[in-house]
């Protein structure tokens, strides 16, 4: 059985993330979505809120679970007996960034394989920082994030989505 891990901050969860989760769930026996804390960013939602958003969105995917982790992803993967690390790519800049992380993870454990999935073209422009900015000024996010996330962003950032 191949266990894959898809780590990210998911702050907020986007439809682009969901697209990657669904696609990865078809490729591997088990997929664990790992909510982590990006130490270089201030979060909008708590890890437990992010887990709840993901769980609400993956109810139809029986081979996908969600967990929180704050340490090294490779160490967490050892606990799960996972051998595949899923990463999403939107741009060439993402590729360069992910290539460095993949190299470090391979250094830490040569048995870990990184699989990069290209973002669907309709989500390639979506980033967490852009979503937060649009939400702050009341822009329409309904096609970019799940409905509960759009509502929570509007409440948290003080604007109403359309």
Which residue ranges make up the annotated binding site for substrate? Answer: 9, 41, 73, 87
* Binding-site sequence positions: 9-10, 17, 41, 73, 87-90, 98, 123-129
- Residue 78's H or E segment, with its range, is helix 73-80
Residue 155: CB partners within 8 Å, gap ≥ 6?
none
Active-site annotation holder among 25, 50, 57, 128: 128
- Helix or strand holding residue 87 (H, E): strand 84-89
Is residue 17 part of the annotated active site? The answer reads yes
Cβ of 123: how many Cβ atoms within 10 Å? 19
122 in active site = no
Binding residues for ATP: 9-10, 17, 88-90, 98, 123-129
Catalytic (active site) residue 128: yes
Active-site option among 90, 99, 106, 151: 90
* Choice among 41, 81, 107, 162 that is catalytic: 41
Q: Give CA–CA dist 21/120, Å, rounded.
A: 12
Could you give the residue numbers annotated as active site?
17, 41, 90, 128
């Amino acid at each position: 059985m191949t266990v894959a891990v898809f780590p990210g901050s998911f702050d907020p969860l986007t439809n682009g993330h969901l697209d990657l989760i669904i696609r990865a769930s078809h490729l591997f026996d088990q997929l664990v979505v790992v909510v982590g804390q990006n130490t270089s960013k201030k979060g909008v939602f708590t890890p437990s809120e992010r887990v709840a958003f993901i769980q609400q969105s993956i109810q139809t995917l029986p081979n996908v679970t969600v967990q929180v982790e704050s340490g090294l992803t490779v160490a967490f993967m050892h606990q799960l007996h996972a051998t595949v690390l899923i990463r999403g790519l939107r741009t060439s800049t993402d590729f360069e960034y992910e290539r460095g992380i993949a190299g470090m993870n391979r250094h830490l454990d040569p048995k870990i394989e990184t699989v990069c999935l290209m973002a669907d073209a309709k989500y390639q422009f979506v980033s967490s920082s852009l979503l937060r900015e649009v939400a702050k000024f009341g822009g329409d996010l309904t096609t970019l994030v799940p409905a509960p996330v759009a509502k929570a962003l509007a409440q948290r950032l003080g604007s109403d989505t359309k």
